[in-house]
C-alpha cells in the first residue's frame, strides 16, 4: 500500500516518503523577497480596487485563497525550487513548482509539478501531480505522487512550503518501501547501480524497458 508509514532514520535508503524534519537536509535557504514583494503589490492593488468608486465589485476571496496568499507571501525556498503562476496573478489556486535537485540520483534534472488548491484549504491538502514523466519509485507514469503529507498525514498546520520540501525530499531520498512504480522500486532495492543507470537514461531522454522518457536535463 502506498505511503503507509515511516522507516527508521538510521538507514538513509529506507526513509519513508512521509514528512521528515527538513533541517536534516544540507540545503541553503534564501528568503524569496521578489515573491513577497509581488504579493504585497497585489494586495495593495486589491485594496485600491475595493476603494474605487463606480468600478465592478471585487470578488470576495475564500478562506482558502486568503490562507494560500499568506503561504505564498511567506515562501522560503531553496534556490533549486521555483514557483510560477501560468494563469496570472489572479489565479493563485493553480500554480506550478519546478524542482532541480542538486544532490542524489536526480541531480541536474528539472521536474515540474502542478498544484491545485481547494477553496477549503488548509483543511484539505493541495492536489499535486508531476507533469514531467520520471523514472521514480514514488511517482507513477501518470504523475501521481506518493507523499504521506498529501494524504493521510496532512494537517491544517502544514503549508505549501512544507509540501515543496516534501517533494524535494522524494528526489534526494527515493523510497522503495512505499512505491507507486513497483518496477523502479524493486530495482532500487535490489540493484542500486542499475537504478542509477536507469535514472540517468530516463533523464537524458530515452527508453527504460518499454517506456520512453522525455529529456529533462
Q: Please identify which residue in the block is written with the cell numbers 503562476.
A: 85
Give the bridge partners for 84, in sequence order.
Answer: 96
CA end-to-end span of the chain: 31
The C-alpha cell 514557483 sits at 83
Indicate if 146 belongs to the active site. yes
Q: Please tell me whether residue 157 adopts helix, strand or coil conformation.
A: coil
Catalytic residue among 81, 130, 146, 216: 146
SS3 content of the chain, % helix, strand, coil (to 5): 35, 15, 50
Closest C-alpha to 176, from 197, 192, 194: 192
Phi, psi of 126 (to 5 degrees): -65, 150
DSSP 129: E
Distance of CA 65 to the CA centre of its chain: 19
Q: Would you name the residues annotated as active-site residues?
A: 146
Amino acid at each position: 500500500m502506498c505511503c503507509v508509514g515511516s522507516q527508521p532514520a538510521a538507514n538513509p535508503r529506507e526513509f519513508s516518503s512521509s514528512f521528515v524534519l527538513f533541517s536534516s537536509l544540507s540545503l541553503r535557504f534564501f528568503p524569496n523577497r521578489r515573491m513577497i514583494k509581488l504579493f504585497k503589490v497585489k494586495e495593495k492593488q486589491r485594496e485600491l480596487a475595493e476603494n474605487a468608486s463606480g468600478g465592478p465589485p471585487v470578488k470576495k476571496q475564500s478562506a482558502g485563497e486568503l490562507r494560500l496568499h499568506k503561504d505564498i507571501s511567506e515562501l522560503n525556498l531553496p534556490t533549486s525550487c521555483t514557483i510560477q503562476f501560468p494563469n496570472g496573478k489572479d489565479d493563485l489556486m493553480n500554480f506550478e513548482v519546478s524542482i532541480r535537485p542538486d544532490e542524489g540520483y536526480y541531480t541536474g534534472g528539472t521536474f515540474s509539478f502542478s498544484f491545485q488548491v481547494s477553496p477549503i484549504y488548509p483543511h484539505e491538502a493541495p492536489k499535486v501531480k508531476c507533469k514531467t514523466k520520471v523514472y521514480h519509485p514514488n511517482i507513477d507514469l501518470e504523475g501521481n505522487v506518493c507523499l504521506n503529507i498529501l494524504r493521510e498525514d496532512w494537517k491544517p498546520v502544514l503549508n505549501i512550503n512544507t509540501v515543496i520540501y516534501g517533494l524535494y525530499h522524494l528526489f534526494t531520498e527515493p523510497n522503495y518501501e512505499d512505491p507507486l512504480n513497483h518496477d523502479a522500486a524493486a530495482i532500487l532495492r535490489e540493484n542500486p547501480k542499475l537504478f542509477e543507470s536507469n535514472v540517468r537514461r530516463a533523464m537524458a531522454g530515452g527508453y527504460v524497458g518499454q517506456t520512453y522518457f522525455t529529456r529533462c536535463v
